[in-house]
Amino acid sequence: MIWWLRQRGALGLLPGALLAFALSVVLTLHVVLVFPAFLGDYSMATQLSNFLCLIPSIALVVCLERRMPSVERSAVRRLDARDVVLVTGFALLATGVAATMALFGPDELWTAARNNLLFCGFALGAWPLLGHRATLLPAFWMAQAMFLGGRARNDPYPWVIVTEEPGVVPAAAGAAAVFLAGVLSLICSACSARSACFLRFLRFLRFLRSARSACFASRTVR
Amino acid sequence: MTLLLDRVTFRYRRWSRPVLSRLSYEVPGQGLTILLGPNGAGKSTTMALLAGTVAPTAGKVLLSGSSLASTRREYRRHVAWLPQKVPSSRQLTAREYVAYVAWLKGENRSDAWERAGTALEQVGLGEQQGDKTARLSGGQLRRVGIACALAHEARVILLDEPTAGLDPHQRTVFRDVLRQVTAKTPVLMSTHDISDLADEAETVTLMDGGRVLHHGGTRSFLDHARPDAAPARRAESAYSVLMGLDGSSGA
C-alpha cells in the first residue's frame, strides 16, 4: 500500500498541491485581474485566486498519470477503485479546506471551494479521454469564462460558474454536478478497464438487442 | 502447469480484421521457448492474451485446464509478464519497484520486500537496490522486470521482446540472467531478432500473419536451413525458408 501511495504521489505531490492551493488562495485574495471582453462591451474583472483553483485539478491529473498500466493491468490487486477513492478524496479535501477557511475568513473563499470542485470535475471527466492533456480542459474553461463569459460588467452568464458570486446557489449546484459527472466518468473508465466485466456487459446488451429484434420479427410475422 | 490458447480469435476493434484467428498454442512446460516472427506477426498480441491483459474475442485462455475468466486471480498470480517497455518510476527505488509489483501480484508487504531483495541479487542488481528506477539503464530496467517475475514466484514467465534496443554487452548480461531463470521456470520470449536464437532456446515457435508456421525443438527448426548455409547463419536460413523469403513456398 505504501508503495502505491508513493508511486501516486500521495505523500508528496498531493499534500504539496493542497498546501500551495490553500496558501496561494489566502495570499492573493484581493488581487483582481481585468480581462478584455470579446463579446459584449464590458471587460471582465476576476480575482487571481480563481486561477489558483487550477492547482488541485492539475495535481489530480499528474497523480493519475503516474499509473503504470503495463504493470498494473496484470496485477492480482486491482488499483482502479483505490485510485478513484484517492483522487476523489483529494478533490473533496481541497474543497473542504477552502470551505473551512471560508467559515473563518472572507466569503471569497467559498468561491475558491466551489471553483476547485468544478475544475476537479472537469479534470477527472476529461482524464479517461485526454490523458495528461486533461489539465487543458479546466484551463480552457477558465480562459473562455474570462473572454466570453460576461454579458455585462460583473454579470456573467449563468453557465460560466467560475466568475459567479460566492452565494449563488445554481453555480454551486452546477459545480457539484460537474464534479459528480467527472467521478462517474472515472468510475466508468475503471470498469471498462476490467475487460471481462465490460465484455460481459456488452454481451448482455447484445443479448437484449437480439431479444428485442426477435420479438419485433415475431410481431411482424403475425 | 500448462498454459494454452484454445482456438483463440482476437480483434482490436469489433469490425476490424482479426489479428489472431482460431489460434491454438500451448506454451512448453520447461526451458526457454522463443516466439519468433516479423513485426506485425501477432507475437505481442499472443503475449498479451497469455498474460491476461486483454480478453480474447472468441476462444479460451487456459492455465492447467482452468480458464482465465474463471480463475483470474490465480492466473495472474502464476503468470508473470514483462512488457515490451518496462515503465520506470521516479518515486520508487529498484527494490521498492520490485516489491510493489510483488505486492500487486498478491504477496503481503513483508514477504514482497524480502523477495524483492533476493530477486534483485539473482539478476545481478544487488548494488543498485537503492537507485531510483528512472536512473537505471535500459538493460538494467529489463533485469528489474525479470526480478519482478522472480519475486512473486511465477510459474510461467512471458517476456515480450526483452532484448530490443539493448547493446551487445547488455544482451550478453541479459542472456546470462535468462539462462539462470529458465533452469527453474519455463520462459516464453517473443522476438523478431533471429540472433536471439542462441543455444539456450529449447523450443522455437515461428509466427506470421497470426498463424503458427513452425513449433518444435530448436534442432528441428534449424533442420529447415539450406544445406549450403554457413553454421553461424543456419538460424537465419531456416527462418527465410520457413517464411518463404528465399524463393521457396515457405511453411
Kindly report the CATH number assigned to the domain that includes residue B113.
3.40.50.300
| Domain membership of residue B118 as a residue range | 28-243
State yes or no: pLDDT of A147 exceeds 80: no
Question: What pLDDT sits at residue B42?
Answer: 86
Question: What pLDDT sits at residue A23?
Answer: 93
What is the spatial distance between Cα A80 and Cα A71, in angstroms, rounded to a whole number? 13
What is the spatial distance between Cα A105 and Cα A30, in angstroms, rounded to a whole number? 12
Half-sphere exposure of B246 (CA within 13 A, CB side): 13
What is the spatial distance between Cα B251 and Cα B230, in angstroms, rounded to a whole number? 21
* Residue A80 to chain B, least CA–CA distance (Å): 12
Inter-chain residue contact A77 with B73, CB threshold 8 Å: no
Q: Which residue of A has its CA nearest to B57?
A: A199
Inter-chain residue contact A76 with B77, CB threshold 8 Å: yes
Half-sphere exposure of A217 (CA within 13 A, CB side): 6
- Residue B54, chain A, CB below 8 Å: the answer is yes
Residues of B in contact with A72 (CB under 8 A): 104
Asked if residue B181 lies in contact with residue B160, where contact means CB atoms within 8 angstroms, the answer is no
Q: Which residue of B has its CA nearest to A9?
A: B91
For chain B, which residues score pLDDT lower than 70?
196-199, 246-251
The DSSP-derived string for B153-219 is T-SEEEEESTTTT--HHHHHHHHHHHHHHHHHS-EEEEES-GGG--TTEEEEEEEETTEEEEEEEHH
Assigned domain for B248 exists = no
- Residue of B45, B60, B103 to mutate, testing the A interface (most A Cβ within 10 Å of its Cβ): B103
C-alpha cell at A113: 471551494
> Taking the CB of residue A126, how many other CB atoms lie within 10 A of it?
21
| Domain membership of residue A128 as a residue range | 2-221
Asked if residue A196 lies in contact with residue B72, where contact means CB atoms within 8 angstroms, the answer is yes
pLDDT-based confidence at A197, cuts 50/70/90? low
What is the spatial distance between Cα B49 and Cα B72, in angstroms, rounded to a whole number? 13
**Range A130-141 average pLDDT:** 90
**Range A156-163 average pLDDT:** 81
Inter-chain residue contact B101 with A66, CB threshold 8 Å: no
- Residue B158, chain A, CB below 8 Å: the answer is no
- Is the four-CA dihedral B239, B245, B247, B251 of positive or negative sign? positive
What is the spatial distance between Cα B100 and Cα B106, in angstroms, rounded to a whole number? 10
Question: What pLDDT sits at residue B247?
Answer: 63
Inter-chain residue contact A71 with B87, CB threshold 8 Å: yes
What is the spatial distance between Cα A161 and Cα A182, in angstroms, rounded to a whole number? 16
Q: Which residue of A has its CA nearest to B95?
A: A3
Residue closest to A74 by CA, chosen among B214, B227, B73: B73
Question: What pLDDT sits at residue B20?
Answer: 87
Calculate the average pLDDT of chain A. Answer: 84
Q: What is the pTM of this model?
A: 0.78
C-alpha cell at A143: 480562459
- Residue A4, chain B, CB below 8 Å: the answer is yes
* Backbone phi and psi for residue A172, each to the nearest 5 degrees, phi listed first: -65, -40
CA separation, residue A198 to residues A201, B45, B54, B185 (Å): 5, 19, 12, 33
The total of structural domains in chain B comes to 1
Assigned domain for B11 exists = no
Inter-chain residue contact B89 with A7, CB threshold 8 Å: yes
State yes or no: pLDDT of A105 exceeds 70: yes
pLDDT in tens, A16-57: 999 999 999 988 888 888 777 666 566 677 788 888 999 999
Question: What pLDDT sits at residue B44?
Answer: 86
The total of structural domains in chain A comes to 1
- Is the four-CA dihedral B142, B147, B149, B155 of positive or negative sign? positive
Assigned domain for B56 exists = yes
What is the spatial distance between Cα A97 and Cα A113, in angstroms, rounded to a whole number? 8
